Chain A
Amino acid sequence: MNEIEILTWLRGPGLQISVALFALGLIFRTVQNLTIGMSKNLAESKGSYMMPGMATIVRRSLFHPGTTHRGYFTMIAGYTFHIGLLVTLFFLEQHILLFKSILGFAWPSLPPAIINITALVAIAALIAVLLHRIMDPVVRKLTDYQDFLAWILTIAPLITGYLAMHPIATTYQTALILHIVSAEVLLIAIPFTKLSHMVSIFIARWYNGALAGYKGVKS
């Protein structure tokens, strides 16, 4: 198989398989979570589940005075990484062309010079959180192999994508193949790993908030 054949496969059947598994897996898990439902509450209450749940989704995403010094690092590095990743993913012209051909619509892109920075910032933040994970005794105790797996799966498309933009010690074709492979592996892995937090974090925060914010007796 030569590069053009590999690229054509990755852009065709490879993309179909990975997008299908991603959509099927993530939507299945989300719908299954939602259909569990909550048991019927027979007692009359003063409040509801909905609003406190929604408020918690917002509140848990904000900086607040109770956050500890250690928490600040997690929040700042976490936000830096996520913003860097999402801007790189959704505002690079090449990516928008892909979304356009799948979704049917497009949006304005950012200049490559800015995407270079957001990609590098995301990579740097990922390295920082990995060091923190290894060095901090508390976080280290909470770490299992899946955290390293998620880290590798996430940083791989960023590094290979940067290489495709600036081929160093490789050709553009090779970097592009590695980039698409790593992105497709990531898509497939999302529903099966804790990377599915891209949806479940909202459900989990809502549920926590709904339980804590409920005013009234539960039957």
Chain B
Amino acid sequence: MSKQDNLLEILQRQGVSRRGFLKFCSAMASLMAMPPGTAPAIAAALSKAKRPSVIWLSFQECTGCTESLTRSHNPTVESLILGAVSLDYHHTLQAASGTAAEEAREHAMKEFFGKYLLIVDGSIPLKDNGVYSTIAGMTNLQMLEEAAKGAAAIIAVGTCAAFGGLPHAKPNPTGAVSVSDIIKDKPIVNVSGCPPIPVVITGVLAHYLTWGTIPDLDKHKRPLSFFGDSIHDRCYRRPFYDQGKFAKTFDDEGARSGWCLYELGCKGPTTNNACATLKWNNGTSFPIQSGHPCLGCSEPDFWDGGSFYSPLPTPSADVSTVALGAAAAGVAAGVAFGLYDHQKRKKAKQQHEKITVKDLDE
């Protein structure tokens, strides 16, 4: 594949029909909440789009995001869109290693300065000068700052890159932060999730290829079209929540009947993501459908929000002991003040001088 090929040609060479391509464009238009009329516009733009250079930096991460994206729905157009970008550096996927790999990154950064897309997964450690994660002798911070300079836009893939994720969880031993904590002067899209839904990143790429801009974002810089609704609002088990029908354990009658998993710790009400509509594994299912409560993995600091299996109203700290202690202190203080008042009254009574008839005579 040469960099001059346009997307449609690449896709056709890989056996994707024009019809399949148009279907993908319509799906993208509806996924991104665009009017139906934009599907041809997406098709026209995408078919002419040149292969953009993509540099993918992996920092403090578990490769789960890459696994999620590369193992999306093979072999459909979504995965081919990923294949159709010119992935110039990705240290898990590329064949080159060592100096050759780093040269590829430096070459792409130079040649496509100001034009390449920078994709980041993993958080960036800042503590102790960032020694906790280095690549080719460079700290993650140095590599990110260097690569961000020439990037047209940055896509932070996964909750670690978007919000700090697991490395950022208390007590955060490496001082891990997100991409947007460091880079302030570039457009950043956070595709959060642990891992994120593959089609969401395809959608962001398609948007970028079509309009050359990044999509509308929510306050956490996540694409609004995918993160606009909570899991709870789009959940097919929502009617059970509204009726007050809850599974109490993982194997009771309620669980078997597919009732709401709120009492088993579901974080769907406080989590914005597209799992309930797009689903996973080619639209097969998503955690709640397979009987497990939502962990809330696309929200900042979800690791520190208490147990995955305790319901949302459960206190995140021990309230019972504090309440008992306060009640005991209340009784003690009440009795102490009462005794003090008694003493005061007794003293007043003792000091009270009675007036006798004799006194009145004087």
Contacts and interface: CB of A to CB of B under 8 A. Distances in A.
B244 A36 contact: no
Identify which of A109, A112, A172 gathers the most chain B CB atoms within 10 Å of its CB. A172
A5 B300 contact: yes
Contact of A12 (B299, B317, B320): B317
Interface in B299-344: 299-302, 304-306, 310-320, 322-323, 325-327, 329-331, 333-335, 337-339, 341-342
Contact of B334 (A27, A102, A109): A27
Given A12-B316, A97-B263, A112-B242, A27 B341 contact: no
Contacts of A61: none
A179 B294 CA distance: 22
Interface in B220-250: 220, 230, 232-233, 242-244, 246
Contacts of B330: 23-28, 31
Interface in A1-45: 2-5, 7-8, 11-13, 15-16, 19-32, 34-36
A2 B315 contact: no
A186 to B, nearest CB: 16
Contacts of A104: 320
B306 A11 contact: yes
Contact of B316 (A8, A22, A97, A171): A8
Given A11-B315, A23-B327, A27-B327, A35 B338 contact: yes
Contact of A2 (B232, B301, B334): B301
Given A15-B319, A172-B270, A95 B334 contact: no
A170 interface: no
A176 interface: yes
Contacts of B320: 102-104
B179 to A, nearest CB: 16
B317 A5 contact: no
Nearest to A20: B326
B314 A32 contact: no
B322 A172 contact: no
Nearest to A172: B269
A20 B317 contact: no
B52 interface: no
Contacts of B233: 172
A67 interface: no
A13 B327 contact: no
Interface residues of A, number: 46
B296 interface: yes
Nearest to A29: B334
Given A93-B244, A102-B320, A7 B305 contact: yes
Given A4-B301, A8-B306, A35-B339, A28 B319 contact: no
Contact of B317 (A13, A29, A113): A13
Contacts of B315: 11-12, 15-16, 98, 101-102
A15 B244 contact: no
A31 B270 CA distance: 41
Given A23-B327, A24-B326, A16 B301 contact: no
A95 B243 contact: no
Contacts of B269: 172-173, 176
Nearest to A18: B319
A24 B329 CA distance: 6
A111 to B, nearest CB: 5
Contacts of A20: 322-323, 325-326
Interface string B260-302: 0011000001100000000000000000000000001001111
A94 interface: yes
- Residue with the greatest number of chain B CB neighbours at <10 A, chosen from A12, A32, A95: A32
B296 A27 contact: no
Contacts of A93: 244, 246, 262-263
Given A15-B315, A112-B242, A4 B331 contact: no
B300 A2 contact: yes
Nearest to A112: B244
28 contacts: A2-B300, A2-B301, A4-B296, A4-B304, A8-B305, A11-B315, A11-B317, A15-B315, A16-B317, A16-B318, A20-B326, A23-B327, A24-B333, A27-B331, A28-B329, A32-B333, A35-B334, A35-B337, A35-B341, A36-B341, A94-B311, A97-B263, A101-B314, A112-B242, A113-B243, A172-B270, A173-B270, A176-B270
